[in-house]
Structures are given as structure tokens and as C-alpha cells.
Amino acid sequence: MKDLKIVFLNNSSWFLLSIFLIYSFLFFYNITSIIPKTQQLKEISKSASIIRDSLEQEDITYMEKVETDLKNNPSFKKNYFIFVGVVFCGLGLGCIFLFLFILFRFLRIKVFKIEKVKISEYLKFNILDLIKFLLIYGSFYCVVKYILLGELLFFGGEEYDIKGFMGVNICLAVIFMNLLPCWFLIRYIRNKYKQGIEYLGLEFSKITKKIFFGIVAYITCYPLILFLLAGTFIITEFLKIKIPTHPIVPMILKDTSLANILLFVFIACIIGPITEEIFFRGLLYPVIKKRVGAVLAAVVSSALFACLHFNIPLVLSIFVLGLLFSYLYERTGSLVSSITVHILHNSLMVTIVLLIKLYL
């Protein structure tokens, strides 16, 4: 058992294992296209492709219908002004907070005396470890994509229903592509470097103060975020560019099962923010910071964070959010504040989707 642990902690072993898994995926994926298939497998493959394409088109058509229905809904129009009023109240509060922040910085007055936890700066994770982790994550992605999101040749039949298993697929994808890599990362630094989760920023001393600090920081940055979002919508409307809808939005709007809706909300508001903060701020930011300093590390990690959301029109607002998360982590040395803001932001977006669902 001890020898097995040594092998698994060895850099070259993980590198070779990752390469093996990735190329195994590519090999088997391509071989299914090269080897002559039986008539039944061909029909299953064609059926799965048609269903996937039809589901994507169905989501696009459904969101266009939702937009039309909302415009023609008198009840929605009436309450729309209430929503706009709430947004402007938040904007006003944010402007006050932003003014006070600039004023206090100019007068050098410290309102929040949060002592930075420096233990996260001693994370021994290096560039080679990061490459190894990315390869492992890539392996997880390949396995999940092939088993859950691929053609599903060996799991299907004429009775196979992709729609019926969509919620299960999402759950498994989240577990494999988010929770398992995080578990591996925590186990890795604990076994190789004898460092606990606090070195990844999961440090919970004075947690209430850090949560409150995160909320105040989000309200302060809210005017800038709202300005960027409004600017993006105006430009995209002018250029006739369609902003891609997040895949989870039509799922929430169309699903009638309370259990499934709660599951989607849990994924978007809890699992997503926590795992993303562990990777982008707890891991990626300090590793880059060792090489290029805090400012450039914040820019690079935030740019990657924005690009990996695969939504080009909203990339600037997501980038600014990433900078805010990096600032909070650098200011406190803990992920508590950044996770709080991330959960708060995602929860607000999901709340808007749930409110829209009430009028459908």
C-alpha cells in the first residue's frame, strides 16, 4: 500500500496516467467512427445525434418563446417596473458605498480591520503540480464527455430517452468534473506537502466578519457590474448579436419537478461557486502570483475565469467579477469572502430566472 501511494504521488506517474486516459478517450472515440458498426449501433448513433441537435434547437426556440410571452404578459409588464425600481435602489446603494470607499481610501481610514491570513501564501503547489492537475481534470472531462455526453452507443437502445436522463447526466457531470478533482487536489497537497485545506484558502476564522466584508464589497462593485451588463445588452441589441443562454436556464424554466429545480439551483448557487473559487483563487492565483506578482496573477486568473464561462458578450463583466474575487482573496487570505460574493451573485441571477418562471 505504501509503494502504491509513492507511485501515485510521483509526478511522472500522474503525467503518464493523464496522457494515457486522454489518448484512450481520443482513441476509443475515433475508433467508434472508423470501425464498421452494426445497423443497430448506427441507428442509435444517428438517433442520439438527432436528439442532441433537436434539444439544442428546442432550447433556443423555447427561450425565444419565453421572451415573446413575457413581452405580451400584462402582469409581467406591471411588475417589471417594480423589478427596475429594485435594481435602481441597489444601484443607488452601491453608488453610496462606492463613494464612501473612495473617500475612506483617500483619507486613509480603515473601516474593516481584517487581519490577512498568510498561511495560503505558503502553498507549495508549483507550476508542474498545476500542469499535472490540469491533465487530471482533462482526463475527468474526457471520461465524462465520452460516457455521459458522447454518443452513448453502448448504453442505448430504441427505448433510450436522453431527455429523461438529462438531470442524472448533469448530476454525474457535476460530481465527476467538479467535486472529484477538488477532492483529488485536497488529497494531493495533504499527501505530498502535508498541507491542509487552509493552504487553499479554506480558512474559516472570523467567518462572520469575512462574509459581511464580501457582501459590502459586492454592493460597492454592483454599479460597475450593472454598468457593464447594461452596456453589453445595449451593444448586442445594436449589433443584433444574441447573448448565449446558460444551459441551466431553460432547464429550470421548463422543468416541473421541484426536486430537479432544487438540484439545478444547488448546482448553480453552491457547488459551482465553491469549486470555481477553490480552483481559480485557491489554486491558480497563488501559483501564478509566485511567478509574476499579485496584480498580473489577478488579471491572468480572472481572464481565464471569464473565458472558461464560454460567453463572449459577457466576458468583460465576468472578468471584473474575477478581479473582485481575487482582491477579496488577496485582502483576507481566505476564500470565505470571495465564495460569499460568488454565491450571492449566482443566487441573484437564479432568482431572476425563478421569478420569470412564475409568469410562464
Instruction: Write down the pLDDT at residue 276.
Output: 92
Could you list the pLDDT tens digit for every one of the 360 residues in the chain? 444 444 445 555 555 566 556 655 555 555 455 444 455 445 555 555 555 555 566 666 666 676 676 667 777 666 777 777 777 888 888 888 888 888 877 777 776 677 777 766 678 888 888 887 887 777 777 666 665 555 444 444 444 444 545 555 666 666 667 787 888 888 888 888 888 888 888 888 889 999 999 999 999 998 888 888 888 888 887 877 777 777 777 777 777 778 778 888 888 899 889 999 999 999 999 989 988 888 999 999 999 999 888 777 788 889 999 999 999 999 888 999 999 999 999 998 888 888 887 776
Instruction: Write down the pLDDT at residue 345.
Output: 92
Contact criterion met (CB below 8 Å) for 199 and 120: yes
Other CB atoms within a 10 A radius of the CB of residue 63 amount to 17
Contact criterion met (CB below 8 Å) for 243 and 232: yes
**C-alpha closest to that of 169 among 58, 83, 298, 51:** 51
Instruction: Write down the pLDDT at residue 48.
Output: 54
Residues in the chain: 360
For residue 174, what is its C-alpha cell?
457535476
Q: Which residues contact 232 (CB under 8 A, 6 or more apart)?
A: 243, 313, 314, 316, 317
Count: domains in the chain:
1
Instruction: Write down the pLDDT at residue 321.
Output: 93
**C-alpha closest to that of 337 among 213, 163, 196:** 213
Instruction: Write down the pLDDT at residue 2.
Output: 47
What is the extent of the structural domain holding 346? 2-358
Predicted model pTM:
0.80
